[in-house]
Structure 1
Amino acid sequence: MTDMKGLHGLETKSARDADVADAFGEFMTTFEAFKASNEEKLADINRRLGADVVTTDKVERISTALDEQKRRLDDLALKRLRPPLGDGGRRAAPSEHKAAFDAYLRRGDERAMRALDVKAMSAGSGADGGYLVPEEIEAEIGRRLSQISPIRGIASVRQVSSAVLKKPFSIGGPAVGWVAETAARTQTNSPTLDELQFPTAELYAMPAATPTLLEDAVIDLDQWIAAEIEIAFAEQEGAAFVIGNGTNKPKGFLAYDTVAEASWTWGDIGYIATGVAGALPASNPSDKLIDLVYALKAGYRQNANWVMNRKTQAAIRKLKDADGNYLWQPPATPGSRAMLMGFPLVEAEDMPDAGTDTTPIAFGDFSRGYLVVDRTGVRVLRDPYSAKPYVLFYTTKRVGGGVQDFDAIKLMKYGTT
């Protein structure tokens, strides 16, 4: 007999793939329409020394539609990666901790979790402080966050068991020199070290479930918990990694002091000024982007990414190089990133909009430049009392972050100096 649950799962996956393919096709069609309309606008400027209002409005409308279709494409690509809530009859045998945790989520039965506390001292504290989720769920939460949290997706991520990560960093590297085979070796200078500290702060979410959901044995509560908190955690993380002030949250890379690249010193983030208040230059704006690319040392450029929000990307999308080619290129496949001048572009909505003396564009090797610190363990406290008849799941994790290599990230400042 055909396994109808399995067949349904296959049909669902096929439908998701079809939706992604259709959305990607619409996105590429809209991009071609955008290029055609923008070419018409540029031709009007050349003929009349000014753009036609109707054509300009058309370009902006298509550009907005392009952003909406890209957002829909990203959402569909993410949904395609999510496993179904039902187990489809193929659930793997749960670990002892996972089975005990499932009983705690569904019925509030703490006996098995307490037994694990006594047996291994590894399941967490009592119900007043919640219980640590099993490793399977913690790994699933981390995987989802890396997919939808823009900076986490390109930064280095390190797990720690303490509240603060202290990392020594050699600013200038060790002293070296050439010497003959039998010549005496003189003592080299000591390297200059800096100790960077990355404290972790508590991040929480509180999804709610109905008793019916908890009583349904087919529903995989592991996946449900991960799906419910992924957006809440990702939005808070995304803002903190960009603009967080470091007080009870990670310190964002835009919260550090910035200086002109010519005056850059360790501890600051270097920037290239556009020379125009609140905008790129009207003449050859792509030259400033090239300057930003080459402000980064060659060793960092190999793994560099652009970071900006959608509004800035919409403006950059209209730029061309000296040969008339668009600097911005659409994703090659569904789920991949757009490219700008040959480097991937990451959308981070918490990046500032273009304005006088703002820094709406970042470029750098974030895997070397920014460090995300996850304290091991995600804790869940079951609360069936505060919002009857709903059951609340107070979920917390501790996260820190900050710049670890100040030479790996550069900014574009929309200003004159």
Structure 2
Amino acid sequence: MMRETGARPDENELETKGRKEPAGGLETKVADSDVAAAFDEFMETFQDFREANDRRLDEIERRSAPDVISVEKVDRINRAIDEHKRMLDDLVLKRARPPLGRARQDAGASEHKEAFSAYIRRGDEHELRQVEEKAMSVGSDPNGGYLVPDELDTEIGRRLTMLSPVRSVATVRQVSGAVLKKPFAISGMATGWVGEEDARPQTANAQLAELQFPTMELYAMPAATASLLDDAAIDVEAWIASEVEAAFAEQEAEAFIAGDGVKKPRGLIDYDTIADGSWTWGKLGHVATGVDGGFGANPSDKLIDLIYALKSGYRQNGRFMMNRSTQAEIRKFKDADGAYLWMPPAAAGGEASLMGFPVTEAEAMPDIASDALALSFGDFRRGYLVVDRVGVRVLRDPYSVKPYVLFYTTKRVGGGVQNFEAIKMLKFAEA
């Protein structure tokens, strides 16, 4: 813990404290006491930050400029808060992961699991091909890859939800085809008031827009040695899931924020924006800070403007989305009554809040800079759609990189804004 002396904690301690790395790269169950201890350290560090930042603000009021040492201390503790929060999130994530493939007792699922394990370990396609033919599976063959068992498919999807911040707050739909087409009512039917004997003229029809969300191929290619595959103690499905999850989550997280829609999902900040007062369907409304590349003198005012740019029906489920750098800057702000705008999570595994609304940390969001859309607020469940094509496929390749065996693992995923009213952006610009 960082105390008033301003002493900097050992970097290795920050990296390793509270973490338990199992031998051989296999995960172990994280104890509740580890999570509780990490949360206590996080809260103690945040208290140190508040005290140091209060002194910095007092120095600004007294001398118009803070002491250099105070500024360095605030920044140092701010970085320590981020590191403690990251470690806490990792521990909560590990604690939440159940063992793979243990609960299902269905005979067909068990048969598929055993056949898939034989394919992964020895390249034995015969049993797996029979199982999938029996299930009338389409498109599963030695050239295209075999569908993974349900347990693994579900586990990869769940882990991606926990690792990919946009996926965790957006609507997720599964499709069997290549494209999801979604109608959306831009406006309802026209109505009007009439007297008892007045004529009833025909009203205008509702306006519908068709949104299309194509799924794009996402792949990973983990490699294993023959000795690893021969080791009966290794859970091969768990190993594939752990190898693939990070690669898929990193690519998804980037695409859902900044993807251009070419061979990948279309990201949040790729859409055109327009000043919220002139908002039209098909664009995201933005609120300008009034200062190019900064918040300006009253950042809380701009955050309030952003919150109330959203209609009340969306605002009740609203949340902020920003990266770690932007959150570190906002953490220093107070309102007119001297209360901090940013508050830490109330419990381990909880979410930080900003002005009473939860905060989702997405590293792919841009940093604060000139004209940057570095902060977003909205009901992302109604505003953004993630489309998953059913099935994760694995193709075993023992030939390309001998002596390693490659596992070409693919899934198809798409995404984009489905409701342009439900999300607003804060633009760091004069207008």
- TM-score norm. by structure 2 comes to 0.89
Note if 1:408 corresponds to 2:422. yes
The match for 1:279 is 294
The residue type paired with residue 49 of structure 2 is F
Note if 1:127 corresponds to 2:142. yes
Note if 1:155 corresponds to 2:170. yes
Task: Give the counterpart of 2:334 among 308, 320, 334.
Answer: 320
User: Cα deviations across residues 117-156 of structure 1 (Å, max 9, x unaligned)?
Assistant: 4323216421111101122211111111111100000000
Deviation at 1:189, TM superposition (A): 1.5
The match for 1:203 is 218
The match for 2:360 is 346
Whole-angstrom distance in 1 between the partners of 2:190 and 2:396: 56
The match for 1:363 is 377
Whole-angstrom distance in 1 between the partners of 2:261 and 2:244: 22
The residue type paired with residue 336 of structure 2 is A
The match for 2:266 is 251
Whole-angstrom distance in 1 between the partners of 2:104 and 2:206: 54
Checking the alignment, whether the CA contact within 8 Å between 1:245 and 1:255 is kept in structure 2 is: yes
Deviation at 1:321, TM superposition (A): 1.1
Identical aligned residues as a percent:
63
Whole-angstrom distance in 1 between the partners of 2:194 and 2:152: 55
Deviation at 1:84, TM superposition (A): 4.9
Instruction: Evaluate the alpha carbon distance shift between residue 182 and residue 373 of structure 1 in structure 2; reply closer, same or farther with a 3 A threshold.
Output: farther
Checking the alignment, whether the CA contact within 8 Å between 1:133 and 1:377 is kept in structure 2 is: yes
Deviation at 1:47, TM superposition (A): 1.1
Whole-angstrom distance in 2 between the partners of 1:98 and 1:187: 61
User: Cα deviations across residues 257-309 of structure 1 (Å, max 9, x unaligned)?
Assistant: 11111111000011000001100012x21000000000000000111110000
Give the secondary structure class of the aligned counterpart of 1:259.
Answer: strand
The match for 1:165 is 180
Give the secondary structure class of the aligned counterpart of 1:95.
Answer: helix
Deviation at 1:85, TM superposition (A): 7.2
Whole-angstrom distance in 2 between the partners of 1:134 and 1:122: 12
The match for 1:64 is 79
Whole-angstrom distance in 2 between the partners of 1:353 and 1:241: 16
Whole-angstrom distance in 2 between the partners of 1:244 and 1:221: 32
Give the secondary structure class of the aligned counterpart of 1:54.
Answer: helix
Note if 1:215 corresponds to 2:226. no
Deviation at 1:95, TM superposition (A): 2.5
Checking the alignment, whether the CA contact within 8 Å between 1:116 and 1:123 is kept in structure 2 is: no
The match for 1:111 is 126
Task: Give the counterpart of 2:189 among 174, 190, 196.
Answer: 174
- TM-score norm. by structure 1 comes to 0.92
Task: Give the counterpart of 2:350 among 327, 336, 346.
Answer: 336
Note if 1:38 corresponds to 2:73. no
Deviation at 1:349, TM superposition (A): 0.6
Checking the alignment, whether the CA contact within 8 Å between 1:86 and 1:220 is kept in structure 2 is: no
Whole-angstrom distance in 1 between the partners of 2:200 and 2:116: 61
Give the secondary structure class of the aligned counterpart of 2:280.
Answer: coil
What is the root-mean-square deviation of aligned Cα atoms in Å? 1.9
The residue type paired with residue 316 of structure 2 is Q
Give the secondary structure class of the aligned counterpart of 1:324.
Answer: coil
The residue type paired with residue 380 of structure 1 is V
Instruction: Evaluate the alpha carbon distance shift between residue 146 and residue 86 of structure 1 in structure 2; reply closer, same or farther with a 3 A threshold.
Output: closer
Checking the alignment, whether the CA contact within 8 Å between 2:100 and 2:152 is kept in structure 1 is: no
User: Cα deviations across residues 195-221 of structure 1 (Å, max 9, x unaligned)?
Assistant: 101111000011122223222323222
Instruction: Evaluate the alpha carbon distance shift between residue 378 and residue 181 of structure 1 in structure 2; reply closer, same or farther with a 3 A threshold.
Output: farther
Checking the alignment, whether the CA contact within 8 Å between 2:398 and 2:404 is kept in structure 1 is: yes
Instruction: Evaluate the alpha carbon distance shift between residue 407 and residue 86 of structure 1 in structure 2; reply closer, same or farther with a 3 A threshold.
Output: closer
Give the secondary structure class of the aligned counterpart of 2:209.
Answer: strand
Checking the alignment, whether the CA contact within 8 Å between 2:104 and 2:110 is kept in structure 1 is: no
Whole-angstrom distance in 2 between the partners of 1:244 and 1:232: 16
The residue type paired with residue 286 of structure 2 is Y
Give the secondary structure class of the aligned counterpart of 2:116.
Answer: helix
Whole-angstrom distance in 2 between the partners of 1:335 and 1:347: 13
Instruction: Evaluate the alpha carbon distance shift between residue 118 and residue 323 of structure 1 in structure 2; reply closer, same or farther with a 3 A threshold.
Output: same
Specify every segment of 5 or more residues in structure 2 that has no aligned partner in the other structure, as ranges.
1-27
Note if 1:22 corresponds to 2:37. yes
Whole-angstrom distance in 2 between the partners of 1:209 and 1:91: 26
Task: Give the counterpart of 2:386 among 365, 372, 382.
Answer: 372
Checking the alignment, whether the CA contact within 8 Å between 1:364 and 1:409 is kept in structure 2 is: yes
Whole-angstrom distance in 2 between the partners of 1:210 and 1:182: 85
The residue type paired with residue 374 of structure 2 is P
The residue type paired with residue 399 of structure 2 is Y
Give matches, 1:230-241, under 5 Å.
230-241=245-256
Whole-angstrom distance in 1 between the partners of 2:285 and 2:137: 45
The match for 2:285 is 270
Whole-angstrom distance in 2 between the partners of 1:128 and 1:250: 26
Give the secondary structure class of the aligned counterpart of 2:187.
Answer: coil
The match for 2:114 is 99
Whole-angstrom distance in 2 between the partners of 1:53 and 1:181: 76
Give the secondary structure class of the aligned counterpart of 2:31.
Answer: helix
Whole-angstrom distance in 1 between the partners of 2:235 and 2:229: 9
Deviation at 1:183, TM superposition (A): 8.3
Deviation at 1:174, TM superposition (A): 3.2
Specify every segment of 5 or more residues in structure 1 that has no aligned partner in the other structure, as ranges.
1-11
Checking the alignment, whether the CA contact within 8 Å between 1:366 and 1:409 is kept in structure 2 is: yes
Deviation at 1:78, TM superposition (A): 0.9
Give the secondary structure class of the aligned counterpart of 2:249.
Answer: helix
Checking the alignment, whether the CA contact within 8 Å between 1:86 and 1:219 is kept in structure 2 is: no
Task: Give the counterpart of 1:191 among 206, 225, 247.
Answer: 206
Which of 374-383 and 30-39 deviates more?
374-383
Checking the alignment, whether the CA contact within 8 Å between 1:97 and 1:123 is kept in structure 2 is: no
The residue type paired with residue 408 of structure 2 is Y
